[in-house]
Structure 1
Amino acid sequence: MKTNNLIGSLFLAALIFTACSKKDDQQIEPPVEETVQDGRFVVTALPYMSYIFGNGADLLYTTNTLDSGTLVTTGTGLEQDGVNRNYVIANNKFFSLLFGQGNPGSVTAYTMDTNAQLKKISNFQTETMTAFGAVGEDILMIKNAWEPTQSISNWYRVNTNSLEIVSQGQINTNTLSGNGEMALFTSVKQVGDKVFLPFVSIKTARSFATSYRDSSWIAVYSYPDMTFEKVIRDNRTGAVGAYFTDAIEVDEQGDVYAIGMSLGTDNGSSNGQKSTKPVGIMKIAKGTTDYDNSYFFNISNISDNNYVFRKLYLGKGNFLLMMSDTHNTYANNAKKFAIANVYTQSFKWVTGTPDPATILGITEYSGNYSPKDGKTGYVGIITYTDEGFVSQVFKFDAETATAKVGLTVEGQNIIRSINWVPVSE
Structure 2
Amino acid sequence: MAVLLGACSKSKDTPEVTGPTNPEGTGRSKYVFVYSGSAASGSAGTYIVSTDDITTGKVSSRNNGVETDAYSFVLQNNTIFAQAYNNLGPVTPYRIYEDGEIGIAGRTVTTFRTGVSGTVNQDTWVGGGDPRSSGVGELFRFDAVNMQVSGKSVTDMNKITGTGENAVWTGLFQVDNKLYMPYYKFKPAGAGAAPWQGNYGSLDTAWVAVFSYPEMKYEKTISDGRTGFIGNWGSMQGLKQIENGDSYVWATSGSINNIKSKNHSGILRIKKGTEAFDKDYFFDVEALTGFKIARGEYIANGKFLMTIYTSAETGDVSGGRVKVAIVDINSKTVTYVKDVPEHEQGSFKMHVYYEGDGKTISYVLEDDMKQYYVYIINAETATGKKGVHIEGADNVTAFSKLKY
- Partner of 1:74 in structure 2? 62
Identify which range, 291-300 or 345-354, moves more after superposition: 345-354
TM-aligned CA distance change 1:144 to 1:407, over 3 Å: same
- Of 194, 197, 200, the residue aligned with 1:210 is 200
Please show how residues 163-312 of structure 1 align to structure 2 within 5 Å. Answer: 163-204=147-188, 205-207=195-197, 209-245=199-235, 246-265=237-256, 269=257, 272-304=258-290, 306-312=291-297
Letter of the 1:202 partner, please give it.
F
Task: Report Cα offsets for 1:114-133 as digits up to 9, x if no partner.
Answer: 33222312222221100101
- Of 378, 384, 390, the residue aligned with 1:409 is 390
**How much does 1:111 deviate?**
2.5
Counting matched residue pairs gives 370
Task: Report Cα offsets for 1:248-305 as digits up to 9, x if no partner.
Answer: 111111211001221232xxx3xx121111001001111110001100011101111x
Following the alignment from structure 2 to structure 1, what is the Cα–Cα distance between the partners of residues 59 and 110? 31
- Partner of 2:400 in structure 1? 419
- Partner of 1:145 in structure 2? 131
**How much does 1:231 deviate?**
0.5
**How much does 1:367 deviate?**
3.0
**How much does 1:403 deviate?**
1.5
**How much does 1:398 deviate?**
1.4
Q: Is the 8 A contact 2:241 2:247 kept in 1?
A: yes
- Partner of 2:22 in structure 1? none
**How much does 1:363 deviate?**
7.0
Provide the aligned C-alpha RMSD in A: 2.3
Identify which range, 111-120 or 128-137, moves more after superposition: 111-120
Q: Is the 8 A contact 1:39 1:422 kept in 2?
A: yes
TM-score by length of 2: 0.85
- Partner of 2:138 in structure 1? 154
Following the alignment from structure 2 to structure 1, what is the Cα–Cα distance between the partners of residues 77 and 391? 31
- Partner of 2:306 in structure 1? 321
Q: State the identity as a percent.
A: 24
Gaps of at least 5 residues in structure 2 are 1-11, 14-24, 189-194
Q: Is the 8 A contact 1:263 1:275 kept in 2?
A: yes
TM-aligned CA distance change 1:329 to 1:361, over 3 Å: closer
Q: Is the 8 A contact 1:363 1:381 kept in 2?
A: no
Following the alignment from structure 1 to structure 2, what is the Cα–Cα distance between the partners of residues 384 and 293? 41
Please show how residues 342-381 of structure 1 align to structure 2 within 5 Å. Answer: 342-354=329-341, 356=342, 359-362=343-346, 365-381=349-365
Letter of the 2:212 partner, please give it.
S
TM-aligned CA distance change 1:215 to 1:412, over 3 Å: closer
Question: What is the DSSP-based 3-state SS (H/G/I as helix, E as strand, rest coil) of the residue aligned with 1:302?
Answer: helix
Following the alignment from structure 1 to structure 2, what is the Cα–Cα distance between the partners of residues 221 and 230? 7
Task: Report Cα offsets for 1:121-166 as digits up to 9, x if no partner.
Answer: 222222110010111222111102122xx33111111111221111
Letter of the 1:133 partner, please give it.
G
TM-aligned CA distance change 1:111 to 1:88, over 3 Å: same
